[in-house]
A and B are shown apart, each in its own frame.
Chain A
Amino acid sequence: MKRVLFKTAARQLGANKAATLFMCAGIMVGIAVLTIVIALSQGTKARILERIDRMAASDTFTVRTSPWGQGGGGMGSNSGAFLLSFEDILSLQEQIPGVTAALPALNARGTVTSGKSVMDSVSVQGVVQEFQQVRNSTVQSGSFFSDFDIKEGSRTAIVGPAVANHFFPGENPVGEMIQVEGMQLEVIGVLTSRGATGKGSNADEIILVPHTLFTKMFQPAGLSTVTVKVDNIADVERLADETKAFLEALHPGQEIYVRVPMTTVGTRQETSRTLSLYLTVVAIVALLVGGVVMMNLTSLSISARTREIGLRKALGARNRDISQQILFETAMISALAGLTGILLGILLTILLTARLELQALLSWHAPVAGLIFALLIGLLFGVRPANRAARLDPVTALRSVG
C-alpha cells in the first residue's frame, strides 16, 4: 500500500512544477493583459482630448490693446491708440513662466499681383518663427521661413492654396515671383489648406511674410493684438490674467484686454464622457478576461496539488501546517506572478506604442487593481479548495483525479 502511495505521490511532485508554472503563467498573462489594455485605452483617451483642445486652440489666449468689436486688430491706424512693441512681446515670452510663445498679430490687407492677374484685399500676415507651432499651420510644399529670412526680412513669401491656385493654377508656385504692395517677393512655400474660418471666409486666401519684411511694407506703428500660447491648458486663464497685469505694469495708465478662447466645452465633456464609458467597459472586460484565465489555471493547478497534499499528510503533516503552507505559497506565487505580469505588461505596452501609432498612459491604477484581483483569485480559487483538500484523508486525496 505504501509503495503505491509513494509511487503516485512522487509522480505528483513532478507534475506540480508544471501546475505551478501554469498558475504563474495564468496570473502573469491576466495582469499583463489588464495593464496593457488599460494603459492603451487611457492613452488614447488623453490623445483624443488633447486633439480636441488643439483643434479649439484651447492652449492660447489673445491680448489686445483695444476692446473687441472695434474692428481693426492689427496695426492700429487709429491715431493715438496705444500699441504694444516687439520688446513687450519678447519680455512676455521671457518673463512669464508657462508661456511658450507670443505671436504678434501683424495683419493687413494688400493687393497682390503676378503677371496680369490681380488679387486685392488679400490677408497679409507678418510672422515669426513660432507661427507654425502656435497656429497649427504647416507648409505642404516648399519650406517655411528660415531664421535668417525672419531676421533679415528677406523678400520671401509663403502663400495659401487659394492664392497659389489663383496665380499659378495647376503648377507649383515655389520659386515664382509675386508683387505684394509693390514689392517683389519670391514664393518659397505653400500652406496646407485650412478651409473656412470660423466666420465663413476663406482661410486659404492668405500670404505670409517675415515680420521684419511686413514692417518695411506696412510700417505699422505697433502691435494691437498678440496671441499667446501656453504650456499647460489648465493654466490658460491664470496666465491670461498674469499677462494682463504684466503688460499693464509695463505701460501704466493703459488698459490691456485679454480673452480666452471658448473651449468647445460641450464637445469636450461629451467626448470625455463617451471615452470614459468605453474605458470602463474595456476595464471590466479586461478584468473578466484576465480573471477567467487566472481562475482557470489556478483552479486546475490546485486540483493537481490535491495529491501532493495527500502525500504530505501521509508523511505526517497536520491540517494546520498544510493550510499555512498553501496560503503562503499561493500568496507568494500570486504576488510574484502579479509583479512579473505588471512588468511584462509595461514592457509590452512600451513595445506596442513604439511600433504602432498608439499612445499609452501608464498609471498605477490598473496594475494595483490587477494585483489585488490576482490575490483575490488566488484566495478564492487556490487557497479555499486547497484547504478543503487538506481536510481530506490522505488516501482519498492521493486517489483524487482533480
Chain B
Amino acid sequence: MLKLENVIKVYTANENNVDALQEISLQVPSRIFLAIQGQSGSGKSTLLNILGCLDRPTSGTYTVDGADTGKLSDDGLASLRNQRFGFIFQSFNLLPRFNALENVMLPFLYSPSPPENPRAVAQQMLEKVGLGNRMHHLPGELSGGQQQRVAVARALVNKPGVILADEPTGALDSKSSREIVDLLAELNAEGKTVIIITHEADIASQCPYVLTLSDGRITDLKSPKNAKVSQKVVASL
C-alpha cells in the first residue's frame, strides 16, 4: 500500500520555484493497475519518481506499506528501491556495453541478500519476457522493443511488489508498444502493482484506474465500476 498525504514537491531552477506537485493525497493499494496521464509539465513524472522513492517530497508524507519514507536515510531509500520497486524508463536506460544478462543482473549488486545463483534467476526473467535466446546480446544489437523487454526483466529480478513505468512505449513502434503493455498487464495479473505513465489514450484505456494530473494537481480519477472499497485507489481531487 502506497500512501501520499499532502505531498508538495517544489523544484528550484535558476532561482525560480517550480511547483511540480501541489498537495497530492493518494492511496494506492496493492495489485492495482494504474495509469497516470496528463500534459507535459503536469507533474506526472515527478509523481512517479516520488512513488518510486527516487525523489523525496518537499513536504507531506509518503508511506510505503506503513513505513514513513521521510524517516529513512538516503541509504534506506536506496534499499527500499532495490527491494520493493522496479523501474522501466522511456529510453530503456540499459548499460550499453554490458549484455542483456548482465543488465538484468544489475539490481542484484545492491541487494542485501541476493539469490544463490543470480545468473540463473536473471536468465529466468529473460526467458519470461521472451528473450531467452538473446541473453548475450548487447543493447545495440537489440531492437527497441527487445531492449525495453530487457528493462522489464531487470525491473523484475528482485521480485519487487511495484512496477513503475515512465512512458514505456514512448520510443517504440505500435507492435512493440502493444507487446510491452500486454507484458505489463500480465505482470499485474500475477499480482504486482503496476503504475504506468502514458500520454497515449489507447494505452490508458487498457488500465482499470486512470489518474489525470494537471499543473501538479489530480484533476480526475477514473475507477472501474465494480471496485471493492478496500481495494480502491483513493485520491483527493
Bitwise, B86-98 to A at CB < 8 A (1) or not (0) is: 0000110000110
Question: Which residues of chain B come closer than 8 Å to A8, judged between CB atoms?
Answer: 91
**Minimum CB distance partner of B147 in chain A:** A399
Docked-complex contact B140 and A399, CB < 8 angstroms: yes
How many chain A residues touch the partner (CB < 8 A)? 7
**Is A315's beta carbon under 8 Å from chain B?**
no
Docked-complex contact A4 and B96, CB < 8 angstroms: no
**Is A401's beta carbon under 8 Å from chain B?**
yes
Nearest Cβ distance between residue A11 and chain B, in whole angstroms?
A: 12
Docked-complex contact A1 and B96, CB < 8 angstroms: no
Nearest Cβ distance between residue B103 and chain A, in whole angstroms?
A: 14
Question: Which residues of chain B come closer than 8 Å to A3, judged between CB atoms?
Answer: 170
Docked-complex contact B170 and A4, CB < 8 angstroms: yes
Within 8 A of B (CB), among A1-19: 1, 3-4, 8
Q: Interface centre among A3, A8, A399, by most B CB within 10 Å?
A: A399
Docked-complex contact B90 and A4, CB < 8 angstroms: yes
**Is B171's beta carbon under 8 Å from chain A?**
yes
Question: Which residues of chain A come closer than 8 Å to B171, judged between CB atoms?
Answer: 1, 4
Within 8 A of B (CB), among A351-396: 396
**Minimum CB distance partner of A1 in chain B:** B171
A303 CA / B130 CA spacing, docked (Å): 34
Question: Which residues of chain B come closer than 8 Å to A399, judged between CB atoms?
Answer: 140
Within 8 A of A (CB), among B70-108: 90-91, 96-97
Nearest Cβ distance between residue A3 and chain B, in whole angstroms?
A: 8
Docked-complex contact A401 and B90, CB < 8 angstroms: no
Question: Which residues of chain A come closer than 8 Å to B170, judged between CB atoms?
Answer: 3-4
**Minimum CB distance partner of B172 in chain A:** A1
Question: Which residues of chain A come closer than 8 Å to B97, judged between CB atoms?
Answer: 401
Within 8 A of A (CB), among B138-176: 140, 170-171
A399 CA / B141 CA spacing, docked (Å): 12
Nearest Cβ distance between residue A12 and chain B, in whole angstroms?
A: 14
Nearest Cβ distance between residue A222 and chain B, in whole angstroms?
A: 92
Within 8 A of A (CB), among B38-91: 90-91
A399 CA / B174 CA spacing, docked (Å): 20
Nearest Cβ distance between residue A401 and chain B, in whole angstroms?
A: 5
Within 8 A of B (CB), among A163-212: none
- Which residues of A pack against B, CB within 8 Å? 1, 3-4, 8, 396, 399, 401
- Which residues of B pack against A, CB within 8 Å? 90-91, 96-97, 140, 170-171
